[in-house]
Amino acid sequence: MPPHSPWHPFQRETLLQQLTNTLTWDLVVVGGGATGLGVALDGLSRGYSVLLLERDDFAKGTSSRSTKLVHGGVRYLAQGDVALVREALFERSLLLENAPHLVSNQTFVVPAYDWWNRGLYTLGLKAYDVLAGHRSLGASVALNAVETLEHLPGIRSAGLRGGVLYHDGQFDDARLAINLAQTAVEQGGTVLNHFAVDGLLKDTLGRTAGVQATDRETGTRYELHARCVVNATGVFVDDVLQLDAPGKPALVRPSQGIHLVLDARFLPGPHALMIPKTDDGRVLFGVPWHGQLVLGTTDTPITERREEPQALETEIDFVLRTAGKYLTQAPTRHDVQSVFAGLRPLAAAGSSGKTKELSRSHKILVSGTGLITITGGKWTTYRRMAQDALDRAIKEGLLPPSHSRTASLHIHGAQPTTATDRKNHLYVYGTDQPALKQLMDTEPELGAKLDATQEFTRAEVVWAARYEMARTVEDVLARRVRLLFLNAAAAMRAAPVVAEILAQELGRDQAWQHSQVADFTQLARGYLLMDAPVPTGTPAS
C-alpha cells in the first residue's frame, strides 16, 4: 500500500477492506494507546504486515490523561532508578527529534523554602543534567529568591529561599497518538478505532493464532489470523489475558492520577512549577498547556477499572490544598475548568500498598500460547517499549528477524516549532497546517469558532473526520481539539455544532446527532466540579 500524502483522507471503508484482503497478518496489536500504536509502528518499520484494533478511540484511556510531560522522571532519580531515568532521557531526545511539532523544551522551577532543600534540589537536578549528557535540553540553574519570583510570579514569597530552574519536555499526548495512527497508515498499516477484540483464535496446537473482533459501528464480526498477537491494552491487559487463559491471576494493579485545569492567571508566564514532595510523597506539577494551567497529579490505588475513571473528592481536595500552599491565589472548586482522571497500569507486585513505590518500568510477558503482553512504562518510553516487545516476539520465534527503525522515523506532521509558532493553536497540526488553512480559505464558514470563548474552529472538526479518523463528538472534543480537557463547559456548548458537522461528513441522521450530543453531555459533566448549564438548542436539520 503506498504512503498517503500529507492530507490524504483516511477512509474507514478502505481500511475495512484490508481486513478481507489479508488472509494472515504478521502482527495484530490489541489496544490503540501509546504502547499499542508504538508496537504497530515498530512492526511496520521492520517490514511486517500490521493490524491494530482499538475498542474505543485512539488514546481514549490513560494515554490522553497524562501530565503532558515528556520527561526522564526526577522522582525516579530520587528513588535511585537511574537506568529508567537514563532510558527515558534518551527517548525524550528522540521524541523531540521525531515529533518537534508536538514536543517542546519546557522550563520548570522548583521553589525552596529552606536552605537545605535549595541545595538538595540543586544537586539532584545537576545529576539529572549529567544523565542527559549531550542530549540535555539545557543546564539547571540555582536561583535566588528574587529570581525565583521573577520566573514564577504566582507563587508565595513568604519564607522563599530560592529555587532551581531545570529543563524537561512537554507535549500534547492525544495529538501525538493521533499522529502515530496516521503514521502507521502511511507506512502501510491498518489501524481501526471503535473495533473491539472479544476473543482469541487458537491453532490445532493451542497456540494463539489471531483474534475475533467486532466493528462497533456496524456489528460486523471478523476472524483475523496472525502470526503474532500483542496485548497492549494498558489497565485492561487482564481482560485479554482472561480470553487467553480464564482464571489467570491479575497482572495489573491500577493506580489513579487526576489533574485539574485552571486559568493561566494562577501561574502566569511560560515556566512550569514543580513541587518535589507533597504530603503523600509525590511530585506535584503546575504546567502551562494550551493557554491554561494543568495541576497534578495524585497516586491512588483503584480496584475498579473503568473506561471513564472519575476523580475522587479526596484527590480533588488534595490537589487544591497543595496548590494553595504555594500559589498566591489559592484555587477553589469554582476555578476548575476541567478535571480528568487516568489509570496507570502498574505491575501487581509488592506488599507495601503504596503504588508510588511500584516501578514504572515496562514488563513483557509471553503466555504458554504465545500471546505477547506488554504493560507498565510511560508515554516517554513508548517507542522503546514497542521495540522491546517485538524483539521478544522475534526471540520467541513468532516473527522473522528484523531490526526496528523507529528511532529515526519522523511522526506525521513533524516540523520544527518555535515559541512564536505555538502562539497559534494550529501549531499542533505541524505540516498539515497549510492544507487546514486552505480548507478555511475555500470554505470561509468553516473558520467560525465552535464556541465564542474558545479558539477551535469548525474546520478542525471537518479535518478530524476526514484525516484523523474521528468518528464521534467525543473523539473530536476530547482527543482532536482537546476542548473537553481544557474547558468542559465550553465543550458541552460546542457539542451540537460538532455533531452537526460530523453528521454531514459521516453520513449520519438527525437521531444520531441527538444521541451524540446527549452522550457527550453526560460524559462532560464528569469533567466539571461545578454545575454547568445544559447546552441550548439542537443540531440543525
CB atoms within 10 A of CB 180: 27
Alpha-carbon span 363 to 354, nearest angstrom:
19
Pair 209, 226: CB distance under 8 Å: yes
Which CATH number is associated with domain 104-170+253-348?
Answer: 3.30.9.10
- The residue type at 334: H
Report angle CA 275, 418, 434 to the nearest 5 degrees. 130
**Nearest alpha carbon to residue 19 among 56, 51, 54:** 51
Provide the percentage of residues in the chain whose pLDDT is more than 90.
86
> How is domain 24-62+174-249+358-408 classified at the CATH fold level?
FAD/NAD(P)-binding domain (3.50.50)
Please write the tens of the pLDDT for every residue from 133-180.
999 999 999 999 999 999 999 999 999 999 999 999 999 999 999 999
- The residue type at 149: L
DSSP structure string for 245-276? STTPPP-EEEEEEEEEEEEGGGS-SSPEEEES
Residue 385 clears pLDDT 60, i.e. is over it: yes
Alpha-carbon span 83 to 77, nearest angstrom:
9
Alpha-carbon span 176 to 63, nearest angstrom:
10
More confident residue, 91 or 541: 91
Read off the DSSP letter of residue 51.
E
**Nearest alpha carbon to residue 498 among 524, 523, 516:** 516
pLDDT of residue 1: 32
pLDDT of residue 28: 99
Residue 352 clears pLDDT 50, i.e. is over it: no
pTM of the model: 0.95
Positions of E strands within 284-366: 284-289, 292-296, 300-301, 338-347, 363-366
Residues near 119 by Cβ (< 8 Å), separated by ≥ 6?
Answer: none
Reduce the DSSP state of residue 352 to 3 states and report it: coil
**Nearest alpha carbon to residue 76 among 428, 462, 376, 444:** 376
Enumerate the domain spans of the chain: 24-62+174-249+358-408, 104-170+253-348, 424-525
Pair 326, 273: CB distance under 8 Å: yes
When pLDDT is cut at 50, 70 and 90, the band that residue 82 belongs to is confident
Place of cell 487458537: 202
Which has the minimum average pLDDT: 36-50, 195-209, 242-256? 242-256
Residue 105 clears pLDDT 50, i.e. is over it: yes
Please write the tens of the pLDDT for every residue from 55-77.
999 999 999 999 999 998 887 77
When pLDDT is cut at 50, 70 and 90, the band that residue 217 belongs to is very high
CA 515 centroid distance within chain:
27
- The residue type at 506: L
Cell of 224: 483475523
Q: How far is CA 263 from CA 24, 286, 337, 338, 502, in A?
A: 51, 11, 7, 10, 29
DSSP structure string for 30-43? E--SHHHHHHHHHH
Alpha-carbon span 207 to 203, nearest angstrom:
5
pLDDT of residue 432: 97
Cell of 164: 532551581
Please write the tens of the pLDDT for every residue from 442-487.
999 999 999 999 999 999 999 999 999 999 999 999 999 999 999 9
Alpha-carbon span 93 to 472, nearest angstrom:
34
pLDDT of residue 303: 87
pLDDT of residue 531: 57
If DSSP states are collapsed to H, E and C, what string results for 121-174? HHHHHHHHHHHHHHHCCCCCEEECHHHHHHHCCCECCCCCCEEEEEEEEECCHH
pLDDT of residue 346: 81
Length of the chain measured in residues = 541
Average pLDDT, the chain: 93
Reduce the DSSP state of residue 236 to 3 states and report it: helix
- The residue type at 411: I
Which has the minimum average pLDDT: 41-45, 79-83, 364-368, 415-419? 79-83
Alpha-carbon span 36 to 42, nearest angstrom:
10
pLDDT of residue 356: 45
Alpha-carbon span 510 to 252, nearest angstrom:
42
In angstroms, how far apart are the furthest CA atoms of the chain? 72
Beta bridge partners of 230: 29, 372
Alpha-carbon span 469 to 529, nearest angstrom:
30
Place of cell 503506498: 2
Alpha-carbon span 220 to 311, nearest angstrom:
35
Alpha-carbon span 267 to 39, nearest angstrom:
38
| 255-270 average pLDDT score | 96
Pair 439, 445: CB distance under 8 Å: no
| 260-289 average pLDDT score | 93
Pair 188, 1: CB distance under 8 Å: yes
